Structure 1
Amino acid sequence: MTNTRVSGDANTSGVLEEALERLHASGPEIYEWRLTNHAPMVVEALATHGQSAAVHRWLDAYQSRLDDFPTPVSPITHANWREALGDTRRGADWIGYFLRAIEERPWRDVLAEWWPRLLPGMYGGSTHPVIRVGHAVRVLTESGENAPRVAELAHGLGYWAARHRPITGPAPLLGTWDADGALDAVPPIGELRGRFTERLTRVDRLPVWPADVTDPDEARRRLTELVAAATHRYATHGHGEPTMLVHAATAPNAVLRTLPALPRAQWIPSLHAAWTASAAVTAMYAPSRPAPFTPVPGVTTEEVLERALSHGDEHVIKFADTAADVGDERALTAALCAVDLSEPLSY
């Protein structure tokens, strides 16, 4: 994975901070808690890739979708958090809990404490909560800390806790694969209908691809391999469900972005959770047959990001951001496929 960056200005312009403060008055979901508010993730991606000048223009176009910040129910404490985990009515309470926590302790300590608690439930909210956390951690670790960025991490963790949804372990399919082969070996669930949560209940078998990993550095290498494989696969399989299949790549990439801020002891379980999420999304939205791969020779990361921004769809921008991390021709071609397959946002 190349981790290509356009000359980013996330650390200096102040635009990201303005956008995050603007967004923190809104809820983590839109349309009355039916869909995820993607704006915090998109504005981070734009700022990181040197597109701060477009942040407020994009946000203005997205603004009409935003809901007000939810109404608190009752405070969550160290004593009662278990009973509130996964309670979608408690979104404001969970965000308030994490805002208080990061005022009292370093954000890395809060993250390290809560990551293993939240990781088993990363399937809630169609994996969007962990993706939001991954964007927050990236800007904190790569561009520096300030109050709006740390608050964004608290909002992401709070959203994850409210949407926490574990799954019963699917039956293992034994075999030896690389990441590409493991994704190819994922059995589709069959009849493709229903929302994410309905489809998730029908995922009952998955390959046990990374089960042999015992070294944290190997876990990071395998996770990097998985992100690349899932990104590449979109170029031939994205037509199965252009929006939802991007999460097979963006969810494990969020975990990969978070690893540097976590204790090394948490890297191996992070790999396992990321694999299960990526494989489950693959099973849930797999097309009946792949499309031919047609490379776009000579395309640059800058061109792909510009195309994604002009298109405007939040998933397209976030997938282009992940493709830029992978950085090779097949990944960038996959991002252009997302542009072609998805409905654009009206500016």
Structure 2
Amino acid sequence: MDTTSDTLDEALHRLHGRGPEFREYLSNHGPMAVEALVHRGRAGTVHRWLDAYETRLEDVPRPRARITDANWREALGDPARVTDWTAYFSHLIAGRPWREVLAQWWPRLLPGIAGAATHPAIRVGHAVRALTTGGEDAPRLSELAHALGYWAARHTLLPFSLDPSGRAAPADALAALPRVAERNVMPLRGYAQLAGTPGWLDTAASLRVPEDPEAVRQRLSELVRAATLHYGAYGHGDGIMLVHAATAPNAVLRTLPALPQELWGPSLAVAWTATAAITSIYAADTPLPPPDASSVTDEEVFELAADHGDAHVIKFADTALDVAAAAEDGDDRALAAVLNAVRLIGSGD
């Protein structure tokens, strides 16, 4: 994290004057992308990147009615109440330690991770990393309130229940997932097909969720790695949407240290369910070889992603570099997955 400047705080302050979505349903990726850029040493590019990105954003929606401890259930999952939710979480975080607020609300929000294509949960993961690595100042605390408020407003339950209780490792379970029949659809239409896809529920339930918290952390790391490498071969199914199969569980992984350990197992189960759903909806049916990454470094790959400019590419590269950092020497598949994202996603997407 670049601690020599206030670049991230300045960028977050700018972004908090804008709504969490634009053009009715597209997520504002600004807070996530600028956090990734600063964290990866590209703070000098943040304001220039934001100058271009901010032109597509919209004003903060008007508030509707005050959310309280007594009536919050009525507003859960109502996107029209997003500004009310932000005000509610801002009030909570102003009066209590943010980790305490997060621990209380994480199990309430976690079942709705599918909302807005998992973007709210990803935004929370970036906010938590900013707080834990860069300090607990006002703009970063405010960003956590905005992220939690967005998640509460877009809270969406999947139309099925899933209890991952098998014996499969993440890579094996991911590779075995069947695809839905109707492709290139919006997430809700895709989610609706999953339970009726032959073999999907059984395959999705085949993942093993350990009991030991450290084993859970390791298994979640394996899931992020498997989803990242899977993108390298299958990302051409939908270059943009499939990145969330990796960035969503990584957001959960980044949040684990700030949560009570009893929440880690359920977090893995929900993160896997989201990854499995996104994969079956958006991954290609057959693999293609990713670009060659044997001659590039981690830093060069992230620089390439930053110069490309698309927020999805930046965030996916940020996750892939986490994977690459833990890989064995000579394993450049995570970097190749980023090069695939650069190839598949247009700079204006």
In the TM superposition, 1:25-40 aligns within 5 A as: 25-31=17-23, 33-40=24-31
SS at match of 2:348: coil
Structure 1 residues 175 and 295: alpha-carbon distance in aligned structure 2, compared to 1, 3 A threshold: farther
2:13 paired with 1:16: no
Contact 1:37-1:66 at 8 Å conserved across structures: yes
The gaps in structure 2 that reach 5 residues or longer are none
Contact 1:179-1:209 at 8 Å conserved across structures: no
2:260 paired with 1:263: yes
The equivalent of 1:4 in structure 2 is: none
In the TM superposition, 1:97-246 aligns within 5 A as: 97-169=88-160, 176-204=167-195, 205-206=200-201, 207-246=204-243
1:175 Cα offset (Å): 5.8
1:286 Cα offset (Å): 2.1
Contact 2:209-2:265 at 8 Å conserved across structures: no
1:14 Cα offset (Å): 0.1
Q: Deviations over 1:192-212 (max 9, x none)?
A: 132111111111134224444
Amino acid at match of 2:87: G
Contact 2:250-2:319 at 8 Å conserved across structures: yes
Structure 1 residues 150 and 30: alpha-carbon distance in aligned structure 2, compared to 1, 3 A threshold: same
Q: Deviations over 1:289-344 (max 9, x none)?
A: 11124542142111011100111011000000001111141101100110011101
The equivalent of 2:36 in structure 1 is: 45
Amino acid at match of 2:245: A
The equivalent of 2:285 in structure 1 is: 288
Q: Percent identity?
A: 55
Contact 2:165-2:207 at 8 Å conserved across structures: no
1 CA distance for matches of 2:225 and 2:117?
Answer: 20
1:344 to 339, 344, 347: 347
1:170 Cα offset (Å): 5.0
Amino acid at match of 2:78: D
Amino acid at match of 1:263: P
The equivalent of 1:325 in structure 2 is: 322
Contact 2:290-2:339 at 8 Å conserved across structures: no
Contact 1:250-1:319 at 8 Å conserved across structures: yes
1 CA distance for matches of 2:334 and 2:259?
Answer: 27
1 CA distance for matches of 2:36 and 2:144?
Answer: 15
Amino acid at match of 1:188: R
1 CA distance for matches of 2:114 and 2:206?
Answer: 19
1:168 Cα offset (Å): 3.1
Contact 1:170-1:203 at 8 Å conserved across structures: no
The equivalent of 1:274 in structure 2 is: 271
Contact 2:173-2:207 at 8 Å conserved across structures: no
2 CA distance for matches of 1:77 and 1:143?
Answer: 30
1 CA distance for matches of 2:232 and 2:270?
Answer: 24
The equivalent of 1:3 in structure 2 is: none
2 CA distance for matches of 1:228 and 1:333?
Answer: 13
Contact 2:131-2:140 at 8 Å conserved across structures: yes
Contact 2:302-2:317 at 8 Å conserved across structures: yes
User: What is the aligned-residue RMSD (CA, Å)?
Assistant: 1.5
Q: Deviations over 1:154-187 (max 9, x none)?
A: 0000000000001133567986422111101111
The equivalent of 2:308 in structure 1 is: 311
More displaced, 161-170 or 16-25?
A: 161-170
1 CA distance for matches of 2:214 and 2:164?
Answer: 25
2 CA distance for matches of 1:259 and 1:171?
Answer: 21
2 CA distance for matches of 1:298 and 1:214?
Answer: 40
Amino acid at match of 1:203: L
TM-score (norm: length of structure 2):
0.93
Contact 1:311-1:345 at 8 Å conserved across structures: no
Structure 1 residues 173 and 122: alpha-carbon distance in aligned structure 2, compared to 1, 3 A threshold: closer
Work out the number of aligned pairs and report it.
Answer: 337
Amino acid at match of 2:31: P
The equivalent of 2:338 in structure 1 is: 335
Q: Deviations over 1:37-73 (max 9, x none)?
A: 0000000000111111100000011011110001000
1:288 Cα offset (Å): 2.1
Amino acid at match of 1:267: W
Contact 2:33-2:314 at 8 Å conserved across structures: yes
